[in-house]
Amino acid sequence: MTDSSPPLIQVTGLVKRFGLKTVLRGVNFTAARGEFVALLGPNGAGKTTFLRILASLSRPNAGEIRVAGHRLPQQAAAVRRRLGVVSHQPLLYGDLTAEENLRFYGRLYAVPEAEARIAELLRLVGLYRRRRDLVRTYSRGMQQRLAIARAILHDPEVLLLDEPYTGLDQDASAMLDDVLRQVASQGRTVVMTSHDLSRIALLASRFDVLARGRIAASVSRSEIADTELLAFYRAAVEAPAEEVRP
């Protein structure tokens, strides 16, 4: 699943402080093209912070970051073009229809042949029939699916997802699974944070645990059985912080 080209995401010694509190203390992380990395960790570990830095929404205090061949934060604009982000909040405008939302983002990203692409994506996430409805009327699950459509509108090489399953019921979660599987299979590099170990086990090719400000443990899918995941996670979170090179 992974190939030998240079890693699409490369992070070395990432440090992030908020005021006088240090949240990330030298994170090292890589992701190769096509990898699906599940980023696990307790609340407050800094997963969202880490993702926001990768997304160029936040500046690190120290460290080297390369995403899709460009350095952050210096070449942020170039990175943004190759990046798609799905966060807790759907980043959608309630008073616009699904179509209009995608059209708006299509303009911001200067997506060529936007109308065709929008229709294609709406079909992909199963919202084509409700494309003229205001997003305000969408359920949370539908909003998340539309958010993913928004995120891949410009065909990014890297997709970052922050707890996308939050607030979704079983059906909606299953739908999201499908969408993510399709999206991931298109060769994108995906980094996803989630609390839901069982769901993420089916999708990810690698599991990293962020604890106490560093990547405390990392294991690839092939090396661990589903049943051992929880134990692996617990062990990583409780153990004293040690650097594990993926």
Q: Shortest approach of another protein to residue 19 CB, angstroms?
A: 4
User: Exactly one of 29, 50, 105, 165 binds another protein (CB under 8 A); which one?
Assistant: 105
User: Exactly one of 3, 43, 44, 77 binds another protein (CB under 8 A); which one?
Assistant: 77
Instruction: Decide if residue 205 touches another protein (CB under 8 A).
Output: no
Distances (CA, A) of 150 to 125, 194, 209, 244: 10, 20, 28, 34
Q: What does the block give as tokens for 46?
A: 């800094």
Q: Shortest approach of another protein to residue 148 CB, angstroms?
A: 13
User: Exactly one of 3, 43, 110, 245 binds another protein (CB under 8 A); which one?
Assistant: 110
CB closer to another protein, 123 vs 234: 123
* Inter-helix orientation angle 114-124/140-151, to 10°: 140
SS3 call for 62:
strand
Instruction: Decide if residue 59 touches another protein (CB under 8 A).
Output: yes
Q: Shortest approach of another protein to residue 28 CB, angstroms?
A: 20
| DSSP-assigned letter for residue 228 | G
- Strands 9-18 and 158-162, sheet pairing: unpaired
Q: Shortest approach of another protein to residue 155 CB, angstroms?
A: 4
The number of residues that bind another protein (CB under 8 A) is 43
CB closer to another protein, 14 vs 219: 14
Cβ neighbors of 173 (< 8 A, separation 6 or more) are 141, 165, 196, 199
User: Exactly one of 15, 119, 134, 244 binds another protein (CB under 8 A); which one?
Assistant: 134
Contact indicator for 241, 214 with CB cutoff of 8 Å: yes
CB closer to another protein, 109 vs 128: 109
Q: Which alpha helices (H) appear in the chain, and where do they start and end? A: 47-54, 76-81, 98-108, 114-124, 140-151, 170-185, 197-203, 229-238
Instruction: Decide if residue 194 touches another protein (CB under 8 A).
Output: no
User: Exactly one of 4, 19, 132, 222 binds another protein (CB under 8 A); which one?
Assistant: 19
Q: What does the block give as tokens for 121?
A: 């994506």
